[in-house]
Structure 1
Amino acid sequence: MKISYKVLYLLLSLGFTGITKANITLFSLFQSNMVLQRDKPCPIWGTATKGEKILLLFNNSTYKTTAGKDGKWKIILPAQPAGGPYQISISGKNTVVLNNVLFGDVWVCGGQSNMQFPVRELAQKEMDSARDNNPNIRLFTVGIATDYVPQDTIKGGEWKFASVETIQNFSAVGFFFGRYVQEHIGVPIGLISDNLGATAVEEWMSNEAVHQFPQFDAYYNTYLAPGKSFKQIQQDFERGKPAWEKQYYLVNDPGLEQQWYKPDTDTSDWQTMNLPGYWEDKGLPDYDGSVWFRKTFDLPPDFKGNFHFGIGPADDYDIAWVNGIKVGETYGNQNLRGYSVPDSVLKPTGNVLVVRVFDAGNNGGMYNMFWDQRWAGKWLYKPGEKINAASFKKPLVPNAYIFGSPTILYNGNIAPITPLAIKGFIWYQGEGNSSRAEEYKQLFPAMIQDWRKHFNQGDLPFLFVQLANYNAGPGEDWAALREAQASALALPNTGIATAIDIGEANDIHPKNKQDVGKRLGLAALKVAYGKDTTHVSPVYKSMEKSGDSIIVYFDDTILTKDKYGYVHGFSIAGADSVFHWAKAYIRNDNTVVVYSDKVKTPIAVRYAWANNPDELDLYNKEGLPALPFRTDDWKGITSGKTFSYTE
């Protein structure tokens, strides 16, 4: 085969020679103004052209490496003491210069909404704003990403000096923790906020970690065992999609044949269904296949631009039209649906939204409109194509709910930073697992060990917040979750900061983040920095029965804030396992006597064992509250409840 010189020149100009060099890129965290971990070998990595020579200049020393076959490179700086600022220069085809780099302690701030909760939402602003302007505290917020396999990059993020302005959008707990540690230890502090509200612990565990637990088998075997990313699964699906649609998905549907998506469709025989919800619960039992839904809407006054709507997740697939124009389609019963409609399609009033929802087995429908409640309410509906789910072929598609699918947040947000040298972790999460507290007792320690394994820096300090008092109604699921959290203290280099006395009964996001940060800081001084004089919350040590009383021993000197010297929050039970609120008083420095007229022969005692204990006054001399506890192991309301997954 002959090739013209013009064609050859074109191919060369487009880079088909295989020798065109790519610019050096650094992993997203490596920027000017960053903090690198002191006193440890410190990896710096990135990408370049395969075989490209990389030169790093730092502190009058030169370090060299070569990009591998995959274009990746890594240079490890020798351990450095705290200090700076420094300049780091990395050269290959191009040169990248990092300025104002400090060496200090780097902490990863993980969890859900109470860790994500930003400074700007605090109820009371700090009067001493000068403490907030601290160039020795640097802040970085990771942009959230998800995937089925570990990623090697993170989304966005920029290192910023701590100032009154920059802290406003940063984790309040993270900042107040970092400020406390910086002021007491005196070294630069780097805080990496890597968290997301409304998430469960299993979302932050690696694929290997969840594979230890049989309740994840169905999910693991479907989505994780193939070892493919969202992108790879989507590409596989797109290749087979035309044949699948022709054979299974878009056949024998009168709605498609008669074009029910058109605004002028006769709907006189359509029925009404109140959404969200599964249609099996709303008049269509044992129905698999397509159901067409229809709703009219008006635009907001003075609306301009594209119109975005979200119908939440749909089980299993959907196609959406507005005014007869297709605006989107989504596959998978966990994925959130969000579609944009061009203004050219819209009119001020009487717009017609039609959604064809297709269920391939089990439940079907638009079942969760929490994220865009404009669409909740009455819809017209009409069944279309009914199928035999047993013979319907379901393709594998990326199918992940960002607020519920295991491992996807670890893979997108934690896995990429595991090569980074760090000091430790702070963690505020558990609300999303409160209905499965007993299970959390296994999952949470497994996650801690999982992170330590992948960061590969020994037993890194792991400090966590015990859930605050919340929810004035009956229930003990949060109490059980607090117990599950505290059980992780059996692992080495762990510390706890309880918020049992600073919550708000009617707000799952209590505004007092300053004390939470300080208590985590105290735990850090003791666990991570070896300050033996630092006190943390008093912890239950042991008990003994004494007639009609139980004697409770703590590991620290205790006192009560009650002006009459009593201690509230204790309950006591006999052999019938029925607990009664008890009277209690401090007998010695570390001893509480608990009794009740209703229990003559007590065998078990609990302290602060409620979702929202009414009044607590048991503290140590440093003003830290005693940790909630129970001495029995009787089954609770979350016993036997575990993660479950169905397609």
Structure 2
Amino acid sequence: MNRSRLFFSIMLLISSSCFANVHLSNIFQPNMVLQRDKDCAIWGYAAIGEKVAVHFDNQVYGTVAGLDGKWKVSLARHAAGGPYQISIVGNNTITLDNILFGDVWVCGGQSNMQFSVDESMPKEKDSLRNNLPQIRIFTAYVSTDYVPRDTLNGGEWKVASVSTIQRFSAVAYYFGRALYEKTNVPIGLISDNLGATAVETWMSPDAIKAFSQFDDYHQQYLAPKKSFATLTSDFEKNKASWQKAYYLKGDPGLDKKWYLPETDISDWKTIETPGYWEEKEIGEYDGSVWFRRTFDLPASYDHKGYYVGIGQVDDYNTTWVNGHQVGETFGNVNYSNYVVPDSLLKEKGNVIVIRVFDAGGKGGIYSQFWHPEWAGKWNYKLGKKIDPAKFKRPDIVNSDLFNSPSILFNGCIAPITQLSIKGAIWYQGESNASRAEEYRTLFPAFITDWRKQFNQGEFPFFFVQLANYYGEDKKPEESDWAELRESQAAALSLPNTGMASAIDLGEAFDIHPKNKLDVGKRLALAALKVSYNADSIDLGPTYDHMSKEGDNIIIHFKATKSLIKTNDKYGYVRGFSIAGADSVFHYANAYSRNNEVVVYSRDVKSPVAVRYAWANNPGTLDLTNQEGLPALPFRTDSWPMKTHDRKFDF
């Protein structure tokens, strides 16, 4: 046997031993919902060449595991109903009980989608209303990677009940419950989201590649197509030699053990964190800087290890507490979070020392958003200065869970793109508000990308327009959030989309408004109209065009069967501003007239533009349709926006 054939045989044996029994991708579990009226793929892993048979509804679907140990079958489309049993037979047998066929919805976004039922208002305690065996819920565990993963990190299908829904996405649950109550079709809800995340984290590498602002990031992290596991393994193999030759070489702080508590710091200076040291007294400097401060344990400390959340450090750091190394992090967007063993701690006067190493560009402890208790004054001393042109940077995992493009798509969405679904709902945008105009292209590209990756045509996609947030402005101002709402609404040009406005559901000083019931119901209205052909109103009054009458501007709305109304008994309407040719907006008077709104201001003669609800928080609004859905924010002008020159910056 020649070497190549021997190697191939060994690899076959190794691969076969990894999958001695048949396994399912972990989205397939008892209690799940499979998509009705579509062919449904079921897939998993087994020994190479192992025969796999899937038994369902008096039929057998057979296949053989390939050279990669993967197998897949496709169940014939099935009407809504159940419960059913599915058996997967190979060297072992897996049985899936209590399976329903119905409509499966992927529920994505950031924290307002993640926000749970037990956090929302009103509280759901009624078992008669919420024990719903025809609704099944699944929360996907968070996972990230530079390459698409095959399986989710975890999750469990549960039957909806007053107890199981409490920690589930409130928007998703209320959406699903409203659909079920109207259609009587089983509903499967996959909550697959994470707070504080930007839309680009949920886009595939192919989608990211289409935008030039991601070129450098894509080239460095996505184009090599190396997984986190591969990068980490390669780095660990070469770590010791790299440290000796570059990272640890010639540092007086290491030679003199500045990490020890007894170190004389009389000549150390002080600096405030967070921030880049180039913008502070240190100035332009590459190499190591040593930081030090003391801390006491809080009265609430439980003696199970003390959490130290340093934040994000550019580029690398090693951290000691009371002279003992407690952690190290490589990568300027990775989070440096360490748990200090109780045995290393004392009640008062603990000494923490951090060796921060900048390999070029900016350096420092630059972000402490999640743990501001570690911000403030630190002592510091310069260590070893380097020439960044001569410093070798290793290839490492360097990812921000909330902002690094594609990593959440790869870990959380890619594993389920073979799953047949009805559609998706989405609540996100807050993290992209500072780049609102960029979102106008990213968001529709994101929707198109998911449709491409799932390969199920232009499936329904419904999203929430951002709620009102922050305090009210005393005069009309430019607004990131208003611009983001406009960018969201622009995606309605895509087929099979719908939008639920939350402009009247927010809370001024809480980015997580507790009324998720109406958000879910409004998404369901959109779905009922677009996906179920129901006689449903899915949007509030929507701007169509304007006309002029002297110093008044008349706002005309798109024709629907539901006329506009105002909640003010005199017919007045709040939320409008008006501007002349100078582009300076003033709050305006407005009143409804024959399904139109007349807008004017004594401060503006010959007006040319009107804006409605154009603010982070426009305050109390009166304008709705007959069903009470709010009029959508809009502007009649096309003047440059506040965020027009802001894009992703790597």
State TM-score, norm by structure 1: 0.95
1:503 maps to 506
2: CA distance between counterparts of 1:533 and 1:102?
27
2:180 maps to 182
2:528 maps to 525
For residues 586-615 of structure 1, the C-alpha deviation after alignment (integer angstroms, 9 at most, x for no partner) is 222x32222222223222221111111122
Q: Does 1:171 align with 2:144?
A: no
Decide whether aligned partners of structure 1 residues 21 and 499 sit closer, same or farther in structure 2, where only a CA change above 3 A counts: closer
The size of the alignment, in residue pairs, is 631
Q: Which amino acid aligns with 1:510?
A: P
Decide whether aligned partners of structure 1 residues 384 and 173 sit closer, same or farther in structure 2, where only a CA change above 3 A counts: same
1:256 maps to 254
For residues 372-413 of structure 1, the C-alpha deviation after alignment (integer angstroms, 9 at most, x for no partner) is 333222222111001112222212210001111111111111
Residue 296 of structure 1: CA displacement? 2.1
2: CA distance between counterparts of 1:643 and 1:372?
24
2: CA distance between counterparts of 1:537 and 1:20?
55
For residues 447-476 of structure 1, the C-alpha deviation after alignment (integer angstroms, 9 at most, x for no partner) is 000000000111010100000111115451
1: CA distance between counterparts of 2:417 and 2:296?
49
Q: Which amino acid aligns with 2:543?
A: Y
2: CA distance between counterparts of 1:216 and 1:86?
46
Which of 535, 540, 543 is matched with 1:540 structurally? 543
1:196 maps to 194
Considering only aligned residues, what root-mean-square deviation do their CA atoms show, in Å?
Answer: 1.7
Moved more, 336-345 or 607-616: 336-345
Q: Does 1:64 align with 2:70?
A: no
Q: Which amino acid aligns with 2:609?
A: A
Decide whether aligned partners of structure 1 residues 273 and 540 sit closer, same or farther in structure 2, where only a CA change above 3 A counts: same
Moved more, 570-579 or 44-53: 570-579
Q: Does 1:593 align with 2:598?
A: yes
Q: Does 1:554 align with 2:557?
A: yes
Residue 540 of structure 1: CA displacement? 1.1
Which of 614, 617, 625 is matched with 1:609 structurally? 614
**Is this contact kept in 1: 2:24–2:45, CA < 8 A?**
yes
Which of 87, 92, 96 is matched with 2:85 structurally? 87
Equivalences for residues 266-277 of structure 1 within 5 A: 266-277=264-275
Q: Does 1:345 align with 2:351?
A: no
Q: Which amino acid aligns with 1:569?
A: G
For residues 410-467 of structure 1, the C-alpha deviation after alignment (integer angstroms, 9 at most, x for no partner) is 1111111111000001000010011111000000000000000000111010100000
For residues 518-573 of structure 1, the C-alpha deviation after alignment (integer angstroms, 9 at most, x for no partner) is 00000000111112444432211222223222222112311111111112212222
2:6 maps to none
2:4 maps to none
Moved more, 109-118 or 365-374: 365-374
Q: Which amino acid aligns with 1:628?
A: P
Residue 330 of structure 1: CA displacement? 1.0
1: CA distance between counterparts of 2:14 and 2:523?
55
2:5 maps to none
Decide whether aligned partners of structure 1 residues 16 and 51 sit closer, same or farther in structure 2, where only a CA change above 3 A counts: closer
Q: Which amino acid aligns with 2:585?
A: F
Moved more, 78-87 or 342-351: 342-351
Q: Which amino acid aligns with 2:154?
A: G
2: CA distance between counterparts of 1:142 and 1:401?
19
2:431 maps to 432
Q: Which amino acid aligns with 1:609?
A: W
Moved more, 561-570 or 463-472: 561-570
Decide whether aligned partners of structure 1 residues 571 and 373 sit closer, same or farther in structure 2, where only a CA change above 3 A counts: closer
1: CA distance between counterparts of 2:43 and 2:16?
23
1: CA distance between counterparts of 2:14 and 2:637?
71
Equivalences for residues 320-399 of structure 1 within 5 A: 320-399=319-398
Decide whether aligned partners of structure 1 residues 303 and 127 sit closer, same or farther in structure 2, where only a CA change above 3 A counts: closer
**Is this contact kept in 2: 1:574–1:604, CA < 8 A?**
yes
1: CA distance between counterparts of 2:536 and 2:121?
33
**Is this contact kept in 2: 1:462–1:494, CA < 8 A?**
yes
1:99 maps to 97
Q: Does 1:476 align with 2:479?
A: yes
Q: Does 1:491 align with 2:473?
A: no
2:3 maps to none
Residue 16 of structure 1: CA displacement? 6.7
Q: Does 1:629 align with 2:647?
A: no
Decide whether aligned partners of structure 1 residues 272 and 448 sit closer, same or farther in structure 2, where only a CA change above 3 A counts: same
Q: Which amino acid aligns with 1:539?
A: T
Tell me the percent identity. 62
1:444 maps to 443
Decide whether aligned partners of structure 1 residues 614 and 372 sit closer, same or farther in structure 2, where only a CA change above 3 A counts: closer
Residue 585 of structure 1: CA displacement? 2.1
**Is this contact kept in 2: 1:497–1:523, CA < 8 A?**
yes
2: CA distance between counterparts of 1:235 and 1:145?
18
1: CA distance between counterparts of 2:589 and 2:373?
51
**Is this contact kept in 1: 2:303–2:342, CA < 8 A?**
yes
2: CA distance between counterparts of 1:419 and 1:18?
24
**Is this contact kept in 2: 1:21–1:93, CA < 8 A?**
no
The unaligned stretches of length 5 or more in structure 2 are: 1-9
2: CA distance between counterparts of 1:246 and 1:78?
60
1: CA distance between counterparts of 2:538 and 2:487?
22
State TM-score, norm by structure 2: 0.94
